[in-house]
A and B are shown apart, each in its own frame.
Chain A
Amino acid sequence: MQNIISRKTICLLFLMVTTFSFAKEEKHEGEGDIKTEIKEYINHHLLDSHDFSLYSYTTDSGEHKYVGFPLPVILWDNGLKVFSSSKFHHGESVAEVNGDYYTLYHNKIYKTDAQGSIDLDDHHHPTNTKPLDFSVTKNVFTIFLVGLLMFVMFSRMAKKYKTGSLPRGMGRFLEPIILYIRDDIAVPNIGVKKYKRYMPYLLTVFFFIWIINLLGLTPLGVNVTNNIAVTLALALITYFLTTFTANKNYWGHIFWMPGVPTPMKIILAPIELLGTIIKPFSLMIRLYANITAGHIVLMSIIGLMFIFKNWLGSSLSFGLAFALSLLELLVAALQAYIFTMLSALYFGMAVEEHHDEH
C-alpha cells in the first residue's frame, strides 16, 4: 500500500514539475506559434484531402516540399471535368480547366476567378459556388485500397479451403476471428436458422472497419472512419438490411405492439418508429466520435512533445502517446466488434419469430 502511495506521489511530483516548466516555457516568444501550428495540423489531419501526402517540410530557402502523390479530381460543373490534383499545388495555386478556375479552400473545391479570390460571408463561410465533387480523395482511395486488399486476402484464403480443410498462411490468423464472429456474434443474436444470410455483411463490415481503423494508426495518416459520411454509409447499409429483411412480426412490434392496451399502442408506435432511425444513427455517431476523439487526443499528446521541449515533459508525453496508441489498437478492434455486434442484434430483432411471452 505504502509502495503505491509513494509511487503516486512521485508521479504527481513529475506532473507538477512538468506543469511548472510548461508555464515557464509559455512566456517565451514563438510559443504561441507552435501551438496554433499543432492545432492547425490536427484540424488538417481530420479533414479529407485531394492528394495523398505522407509528410511535408520546409526547405532552407522557405519552399514547401510535399512527399506523396496527387489523386484525380472529378468535378461535375456544366459537364464532367477530370484533372489531377497536382494542379492545385496543395492549395497554393489556382487550377485552370477549359477556361474555368477552381481553388482549394479548407480542402474543399470552389469555383473562382483567375486570381483565386474567395468571398467570405459574415460567418467566414465562402460564398463562391461549389461544383459537385466526385473526386477520388484520400479517403476514397483508402477505401478502394482496403476493398482490394480484403478481396485478394479473403478470396485467396477461400481458395485454399477447397484443397483441404486445414487453414494455411493468413487463414491461420483469420479463421479463429471468422469463427468468433459466426459463433459468438451471429448465431446467438440472429438465431441458428437465419444467421447465414447475414454472415457476408457482418464479416465484411467487421474486417473493413477493423483494417481501416488500424490503417488510421499507421504513419500513413489516413483516417477514414472519422469522416461522418463513411460511417453514415455503413450505418445506412445496416438500416436498409434491417428494414428490407424484416418480417411481419418486427413491423407488428413497431406499429401495433402486442400485449399492451390500445391507447398505449398509439403512443408507442411513433416512438418505436423513431427508434428504428435512432439505432443506425447511434451506430454512425459512435464509430465516428470514437475514432475522431482518439485521433485528436493522440495527436495532441504527440504535439505536447514539441511544446514541452525539455527531456522530462517530452519523454513523459512520449510514454503517454505510446500507451494511448496501445489503447487505440484496442479501440480499433472494439469499435469494429461493437458495430458488428449491434448490427447483428438489429438483424436478430428484424427476423425474430413470434413467441408467446408478449
Chain B
Amino acid sequence: MTIPNIVGAGLIVIGAGLGIGRIGGQAMDAIARQPEASGKIQTAMLIAAALIEGIGFAALFAA
C-alpha cells in the first residue's frame, strides 16, 4: 500500500459512508412520516445501500 492508495481508500470510505448514511437517515425520516410503509421503505433502502456499497467496493479494489 502506497500513500496515494491509502488516501484514495479513505476518500472512498468517506464517500460511501456519507451516501449510505444519507440513505439510512432519509429512510428513518420516511418511516417516521409513514410508519405503515416501513416494509417497502426498508427494502428500497437496502437496495440503494447495496448499490452504493457495490460501487464503493469496486473503487476500493481499484485503489
Task: Report yes or no: B58 in contact with A338, Cβ–Cβ below 8 A.
Answer: no
Task: Report yes or no: B43 in contact with A338, Cβ–Cβ below 8 A.
Answer: no
Task: Report yes or no: A289 in contact with B61, Cβ–Cβ below 8 A.
Answer: yes
List 30 contacting pairs A-B, 8 Å CB cutoff, sorted by A.
A184-B39, A282-B51, A282-B54, A282-B55, A282-B58, A283-B54, A285-B54, A285-B57, A285-B58, A285-B61, A286-B50, A286-B53, A286-B54, A286-B57, A289-B57, A289-B60, A289-B61, A290-B53, A290-B57, A334-B46, A337-B46, A338-B46, A338-B47, A338-B50, A341-B43, A341-B46, A341-B47, A341-B50, A342-B47, A345-B47
Which residues of the other chain, A, contact B53 by a CB distance below 8 angstroms?
A: 286, 290
Shortest Cβ distance from B49 into A: residue: A338
Closest approach, in angstroms, between the C-beta of B6 and any C-beta of chain A? Answer: 16
Which residues of B are in contact with A by a Cβ distance under 8 Å?
Answer: 39, 43, 46-47, 50-51, 53-55, 57-58, 60-61
Shortest Cβ distance from B55 into A: residue: A282
Shortest Cβ distance from A345 into B: residue: B47
Which residues of the other chain, A, contact B60 by a CB distance below 8 angstroms?
A: 289
Top 6 closest pairs, chain A to chain B, by CB = A282-B54, A289-B57, A286-B54, A338-B50, A285-B57, A285-B58
With A and B bound together, what is the CA distance between A337 and B51 in angstroms?
14
Which residues of the other chain, B, contact A345 by a CB distance below 8 angstroms?
A: 47
Main secondary structure on A side of the interface with B: helix
Given known contacts A184-B39, A184-B43, A282-B55, A342 and B50 CB-to-CB distance under 8 angstroms: yes
Which residues of the other chain, B, contact A342 by a CB distance below 8 angstroms?
A: 47, 50
Closest approach, in angstroms, between the C-beta of B17 and any C-beta of chain A? Answer: 14
Main secondary structure on B side of the interface with A: helix
With A and B bound together, what is the CA distance between A338 and B43 in angstroms?
9
Shortest Cβ distance from B57 into A: residue: A289
Shortest Cβ distance from A289 into B: residue: B57
Shortest Cβ distance from B46 into A: residue: A338
Which residues of the other chain, B, contact A289 by a CB distance below 8 angstroms?
A: 57, 60-61
Which residues of the other chain, A, contact B39 by a CB distance below 8 angstroms?
A: 184
Closest approach, in angstroms, between the C-beta of A30 and any C-beta of chain B? Answer: 25
Which residues of A are in contact with B by a Cβ distance under 8 Å?
Answer: 184, 282-283, 285-286, 289-290, 334, 337-338, 341-342, 345
With A and B bound together, what is the CA distance between A285 and B51 in angstroms?
11
Which residues of the other chain, B, contact A338 by a CB distance below 8 angstroms?
A: 46-47, 50
With A and B bound together, what is the CA distance between A285 and B58 in angstroms?
7
Closest approach, in angstroms, between the C-beta of B51 and any C-beta of chain A? Answer: 7
With A and B bound together, what is the CA distance between A337 and B45 in angstroms?
13
Shortest Cβ distance from A281 into B: residue: B58
Which residues of the other chain, B, contact A285 by a CB distance below 8 angstroms?
A: 54, 57-58, 61
Known: A338-B46, A338-B47. 9 other contacts (CB 8 A): A184-B39, A184-B43, A282-B54, A283-B54, A285-B54, A285-B58, A290-B53, A337-B46, A341-B43
With A and B bound together, what is the CA distance between A289 and B61 in angstroms?
9
Closest approach, in angstroms, between the C-beta of A317 and any C-beta of chain B? Answer: 22
Shortest Cβ distance from A288 into B: residue: B57
With A and B bound together, what is the CA distance between A321 and B60 in angstroms?
24
Closest approach, in angstroms, between the C-beta of A183 and any C-beta of chain B? Answer: 11
With A and B bound together, what is the CA distance between A290 and B49 in angstroms?
13
Shortest Cβ distance from B39 into A: residue: A184
Shortest Cβ distance from A335 into B: residue: B50
Which residues of the other chain, A, contact B58 by a CB distance below 8 angstroms?
A: 282, 285
With A and B bound together, what is the CA distance between A334 and B55 in angstroms?
17
Closest approach, in angstroms, between the C-beta of B37 and any C-beta of chain A? Answer: 13
With A and B bound together, what is the CA distance between A119 and B57 in angstroms?
34
Closest approach, in angstroms, between the C-beta of B9 and any C-beta of chain A? Answer: 12
Residue of B50, B53, B55, B60 ringed by the most chain A CB atoms within 10 A: B50
Which residues of the other chain, A, contact B46 by a CB distance below 8 angstroms?
A: 334, 337-338, 341
Closest approach, in angstroms, between the C-beta of A314 and any C-beta of chain B? Answer: 27
Closest approach, in angstroms, between the C-beta of B1 and any C-beta of chain A? Answer: 13
With A and B bound together, what is the CA distance between A334 and B49 in angstroms?
12
